[in-house]
Amino acid sequence: MKQQREFHVGNKKWSACHALVIAELGTGHGADRTKAAELIDAAAEAGADCIKFQMVYADEILHPNTGDVPLPGGRISLYDRFKQLEAPVDFFADMKERVEKKGLLFLCTPFGIQSARDVRALNPAALKIASPEINYTALLREIASYNLPVFLSSGVSKLSDIEEALSALSNIRVCLLHCVTAYPAPPREYNLRALRSLSAVFGVPAGVSDHSMDAELVPSLAAAVGAAAVEKHFCLSRKDPGLDDPIALDPKDFAVMVKAIRETECVAAARGTRTALEEIKREKGEELVEAILGDGVKRLAFSEEANYTRTNRSIHALCDIREGEIIARDMIACLRSEKVLRPGLPPSWEEKIVGRSAKAFIPAGEGVRFEDV
């Protein structure tokens, strides 16, 4: 396929000549309207084109038995931490109004069917699908039915996962966001030449979702190779308590990133991609730049390999399922396994195992495997 370099959202167009810059606020606002407003205003002033939120409902993402995570205040249940991140729908409605009054694009990531419907009810111009949900078949089909443009992150995924996701979203416009799902992500693992490869293979525009700590390296190189969008976590301070604040950019560094992106785009447009890359090599070093650019072959990054099948979705038991018991629809869900629980069958098998009997006891929270049914 021919490389696709443009992405339309509403009456605006984003392309390799002028990438959409997304400030990912995520859940760093803590459902505090005052702080969220401060974040929106600061991101807008720093040069963001788009402000993104996450609509989190813990039950759509994790089982209560998922395990604990270490935080500055001590260990806490990961499920409980996600419960703390929940915010009412009217909070997002208020934030959308504030974002759009500034002339910026409002974007929100749902993580399950209910949150997808709640985001859709806000009448957004586009939606975002996070990397762990790239294999969540039912969610992809639900979102495809909305006929809205979608940004699809591709961290912790193989080429076949992207192909299947895009097949489920085939009736809508998609911008693929190349990503390394590690916090922080090592810049040398970004393999940014994959943007062109992915765009050419799938015929969709490609950008980057950057979790590295540097404000300029990955974003400016992504702009040089034709990113249609660049996403970066945004915070008021890395010392703030938000889940992603330690790897986010504060307003000053975010503005530095935006400046670097726009300058690189200008050089690439006026003098070509090769010249833009040569200028960055002179400033940052050829060896480092070539390492970040990579060979363009899409593969799991080294920092992601251990999390494949654990960060993305699989079928889990919501309750204890006894040997011989018929598996009902409300006994299972497609969840993230994370570190403690075993992964189960891929989400595409969800409807195939409903109505089958359990061959062995399946403890609540554990993945449902082939040998279990």
pLDDT digits 0-9 by tens, 6-17: 898 988 889 888
Residue 263 has pLDDT above 70, yes or no: yes
**pLDDT for residue 72:** 59
Report the length, in residues, of the chain.
373
Pinpoint the residues of the chain covered by CATH 3.20.20.70: 6-293
Torsion angle of C-alpha atoms 370, 298, 208, 27, degrees rounded to 10? 20
Q: Is the Cα torsion angle 8, 9, 15, 17 positive or negative in sign?
A: positive
Q: What is the pLDDT of residue 73?
A: 65
The CATH classification of domain 309-372, taken from the options 3.90.1210.10, 3.40.50.720, 3.30.565.10, 3.90.79.10: 3.90.1210.10
| Average pLDDT, integer, range 214-227 | 97
- Mean pLDDT across the chain, nearest whole number? 95
Distance (Å, whole) CA 8 – CA 259: 23
Instruction: Give the whole-angstrom CA distance, residue 3 versus residue 20.
Output: 18
Residue 10, pLDDT score: 82
6-293 folds as TIM Barrel (3.20.20)
**What stretch(es) of the chain map to CATH 3.90.1210.10?**
309-372
Task: Decide if pLDDT at 341 tops 60.
Answer: yes
pLDDT in tens, 27-47: 999 999 999 999 999 999 999
Distances, alpha carbon 80 to alpha carbons 58, 77, 83, in Å = 8, 5, 5
Contact indicator for 26, 54 with CB cutoff of 8 Å:
yes
Predicted confidence at residue 15, as pLDDT, reads 85
Residue 2 clears pLDDT 60, i.e. is over it: no
Instruction: Give the pLDDT score at 3.
Output: 62
pLDDT at position 245 is 94
**pLDDT at residue 198, rounded to an integer:** 96
Q: Which DSSP helix (H) or strand (E) runs through 199? A: helix 194-202
Number of Cβ within 10 Å of residue 35's Cβ equals 16
CA distances from 21 to 26, 69, 203, 345 (A): 15, 31, 21, 36
Is the pLDDT at 1 greater than 70? The verdict is no
Residue 266: what pLDDT? Answer: 96
For residue 149, is the peptide bond before it cis, meaning its omega torsion is within 30 degrees of 0?
A: no
Give the mean model confidence (pLDDT) for residues 295-306: 95
The residues, any chain, with a CB within 8 Å of residue 20's CB and separated by 6 or more, are: 7, 9, 14, 49, 50, 105, 207, 228, 229, 230
Give residue 144's Cα distance to chain centre. 17
pLDDT band at 5 (very low <50, low <70, confident <90, very high): confident
The encoded tokens of residue 246 equal: 């330690």
Stretch 80-87: mean pLDDT: 95
Q: Which two tokens stand for residue 339?
A: 């570190």
